[in-house]
Structure 1
Amino acid sequence: MQLHEIREARTAKVAEARSLLTAANGANLTPEQQSKFDAIKAEITALEGQEQRAQFIEDAERRSMGQPVDKPRQDMEGQVNVLDAIRCQIENRAATGALAEFQAEAKRMGIEARNGGILVPTSIFEKRATMTTTGAAAVVPDDYRADQFIGLLRNSMIVRQLGARVLTGLRGDTVLPKATGAATAYWVAEGDALTESGTTYSSVKLEPKTVGALTAFSRNLALQSNPSIEALLRDDISAVVGLAVDKALIHGTAAAKQPVGILNVTGIQTASLATLSWAAIVAMLEKLGLENITANAIVTHAKAATKLQTTLKDATAGSEYLMQAGRVAGLPAYVTNQLDAKTGTPNTGRVIAGDFSQLVIGEWGATEVLANPYAAGYYEKGDVQLRIMHSMDAVVRHPKAFVVADDLGL
């Protein structure tokens, strides 16, 4: 069945289950009704599994063709207003418009906010934060010019842009099956018997890790209707939570209660750029080729990028630089200070090359925003305390899909 057919079938089954409970009118279900309810429940669960699989395939097909994923949902999420999510909590009223539509969609998927919070789509924070403020007083004067606001300089979020796969709407821990060995083909003479061989399997597991932050701002800021203030608030949340997630996808460790980032995944390949040259770059990428991996990007940080952009491929006149026009060896090169230099005496630069679609990100629910105008120390001043929480995890499907060099002289 197509995705829309699966959703229609599931909606019909939910309505059927609801009618059974309504017919019971609060009384216990009869054995016959209970049996029917259990059968419907099993069908709903099966349809939900089909929906997740169909959604994954549809999204993958859209990405492969360069099309936006789930355009109607994307449009709806783009209309969600974070400021409205905060205001409706302060004013103790129900969500309206696109925000209400998103709450209904999340509830349909079994995602509900806890403790009176409001859910907002994580996707609206997936951009570079360029307009933020460290104090509410800077953005509420009478003649406020949001278009001229000078925000903090933030690291750029990078990992999702590189094609990492995202699984949304997860509930329990999620296990991804993984083939670790293939069957073997044999040449035989006439009359010879084939030798039996089989594929071997293992699995990788996604378990929710939660990141959150507490911040505060004035009540007047929350009540402003200027769309630019919504952008400021959205970008600030992005800087608080989005950058923390992005950093963990690269550097995260289990000891810090984070997803295990690419640099700490057991089995990733290593290379050396201590003697920086075109041959060393090619040798680094060769390691991926030997594992049947086609790299889709290279990631480095500012100081390492400077070194790459000032080192010639060849001493011959007219030679290109190792990194030129935003590319290294024909691959797009991304520069972000989310990737740290390796600490030492002296520090050395890092370069990561690989197929970033081999990184799978799992998300449980959506980003939850809870505004509390009654928190001690804030209520007296009329300020609002804001709590942001997001649960996710990440695994690398094939560790050998990445190669890291961390000895580049700076």
Structure 2
Amino acid sequence: MKLNALREQRSTKVASMKALVDKAATESRDLSADEIKQFDSLKVEERTLASQIERAEYMSDIERRAAGEPVSGAPASDLDKLAGSVLTIKVIQAQMNGTPLDGAEAEYAKEAERRSGRKAEGAFIPFKNLERRANTTTTASDLVGVDHRATDYIGPLRESLVARSLGVRVLSGLVGNVSIPKYGNGLETGWVTEGQAVPEGVMGFDSVTLTPRHVGGKTEMSRQLIQQSAPGIEQLVREDLSFLIAKQIDRAIINGSGLLGEPLGILNTAGIQTAEMPDTWLEVLAMLEKLDDVEIANGRWLTTAAIRTLLAGTEKVVGSGSGFLYQGGSLADLPLVTSKNVPAKKLILGDFSQVLLGVWSEVDILVNPFAEPAYSRGGVQVRAMATLDTAVRHAQGFVVATGA
């Protein structure tokens, strides 16, 4: 049987045992004779599966050594499948109750530690697990019980996180500092007559570097929310934690200063092309021309809602009925999106695949049930941290317009 299938079976057995114990605890009683029999049977099966997993992992390591591959745990494909089974809420509950992780959560955390080469302060969860937000049972009371509607949860208004959706390249599984060779200048070429020497040039190279930088934040969650809510709360807890991390990553990609541990963003990268804020069709085309001149064809626009409004109210040619600069979701037939993370009076045109996002650490979740003021309110404090950096491969791939 495949390793991943064994892991899934073991996780199912563990979940079944937990369901029996939780049911008895909810009804304030001990396990019945039939339930004890079921529990003991599941325990034997879980231990058998654990032994099979250990043997399968050992054989997998041997096979990779024989093939000359690095032995660093489960293959990437298996780790990705395992990541899909990890529940953030189970990691938080285990830390809050002082119990060890089990199932997919334990296996993923162990593998992530092995791959990153460091011990998590709390427990690692998949970086891509963080997607949405949650709060407390006071603001999400319908989540406690059977008939809840997690998908209808109404959260607070907040800025859009868009930089990564524009095509930023993500480099995961990094260990040391990263230096990526970058083409500088190349050979000289030209036409020559018979017997004449061809032009001589020297190839030059540069590099793009990525250095681990740490980002994190804390949030408070009610104990009741974490302990009593139905499984749909998982999506909401992810959202609460993700916003702590994603907002900072988004802002760093766009406008990071490069100082005090912060990554260097697009707007502060040396060599970015500049322009005046366009208010005519010809000035828009002039910005596009700047990208064409450096062989960049995959351009997209990023700006503020205020600038988008101005562009949407400006005719291409005044009084001609030729349409407006921004209409139908695009400017000059290229997609335009807005974000509050873009500074005022800035319009960015560029190929966002020129941005690298290097990830050294999975998101590290640490629960502190004794931190004030959460402790006094019966809640728990949850801290999320990640280690990453950003860099722009070719600064000429961006044109930034500034003005009123």
TM-score, length-scaled by structure 1:
0.76
Aligned residue identity for 2:97: E
Aligned residue identity for 2:300: A
Aligned counterparts of 2:306 and 2:84: Cα–Cα separation in 1:
35
Q: 2:116 aligned with 1:110, yes or no?
A: yes
1:11 is matched with which residue? 61
1:222 is matched with which residue? 226
Please tell me whether the aligned partners of residues 113 and 119 of structure 1 are also in contact (alpha carbons under 8 angstroms): no
Aligned residue identity for 1:215: T
Residue number among 388, 395, 398 corresponding to 1:392 in the alignment? 388
Q: Which runs of 5+ in 2 are unaligned?
A: 1-56
Decide whether aligned partners of structure 1 residues 311 and 121 sit closer, same or farther in structure 2, where only a CA change above 3 A counts.
Answer: same
Aligned counterparts of 1:207 and 1:192: Cα–Cα separation in 2:
48
Larger Rg: 2
1:235-284 deviations in whole A, cap 9, x for unaligned? 111111111111111111122421111111111000112x5011111111
**Range 172-181 or range 142-151, more displaced:** 142-151
Aligned residue identity for 1:99: E
- Once the two structures are TM-superposed, the CA of residue 109 in structure 1 deviates from its matched residue by 2.1
Residue number among 170, 174, 179 corresponding to 1:175 in the alignment? 179
Question: What SS does structure 2 have at the residue aligned with 1:370?
Answer: strand
Matched residue count: 344
1:315 is matched with which residue? 318
Residue number among 83, 86, 90 corresponding to 1:84 in the alignment? 90
Aligned counterparts of 1:9 and 1:284: Cα–Cα separation in 2:
58
- Once the two structures are TM-superposed, the CA of residue 83 in structure 1 deviates from its matched residue by 0.8
- Once the two structures are TM-superposed, the CA of residue 74 in structure 1 deviates from its matched residue by 5.1
1:294-322 deviations in whole A, cap 9, x for unaligned? 13311111111111111111235542211
TM-score, length-scaled by structure 2:
0.77
Aligned residue identity for 2:322: S
**Range 381-390 or range 165-174, more displaced:** 381-390
Decide whether aligned partners of structure 1 residues 155 and 78 sit closer, same or farther in structure 2, where only a CA change above 3 A counts.
Answer: farther
Aligned counterparts of 2:58 and 2:102: Cα–Cα separation in 1:
25
Aligned residue identity for 2:155: G
Decide whether aligned partners of structure 1 residues 269 and 8 sit closer, same or farther in structure 2, where only a CA change above 3 A counts.
Answer: farther
**Equivalences for 1:2-401 in 2 at 5 Å?**
11-12=61-62, 76-115=82-121, 117-125=122-130, 127=131, 129=132, 131-133=133-135, 135-140=136-141, 146-273=150-277, 276-341=279-344, 349-375=345-371, 377-379=373-375, 381-401=377-397
Aligned residue identity for 1:260: L
Decide whether aligned partners of structure 1 residues 96 and 321 sit closer, same or farther in structure 2, where only a CA change above 3 A counts.
Answer: farther
- Once the two structures are TM-superposed, the CA of residue 404 in structure 1 deviates from its matched residue by 0.4
Decide whether aligned partners of structure 1 residues 108 and 15 sit closer, same or farther in structure 2, where only a CA change above 3 A counts.
Answer: farther
Q: Which runs of 5+ in 1 are unaligned?
A: 1-6, 17-39, 56-69, 342-348
Identity of aligned residues (%): 35
Aligned counterparts of 1:234 and 1:102: Cα–Cα separation in 2:
17
Aligned residue identity for 1:374: F
1:85-141 deviations in whole A, cap 9, x for unaligned? 1011122333334423422442442354423x111111122x5x5x543x5532246
Decide whether aligned partners of structure 1 residues 217 and 259 sit closer, same or farther in structure 2, where only a CA change above 3 A counts.
Answer: same
Aligned counterparts of 1:277 and 1:13: Cα–Cα separation in 2:
64
- Once the two structures are TM-superposed, the CA of residue 14 in structure 1 deviates from its matched residue by 7.5
1:19 is matched with which residue? none
The CA RMSD measured in Å over matched residues stands at 3.0
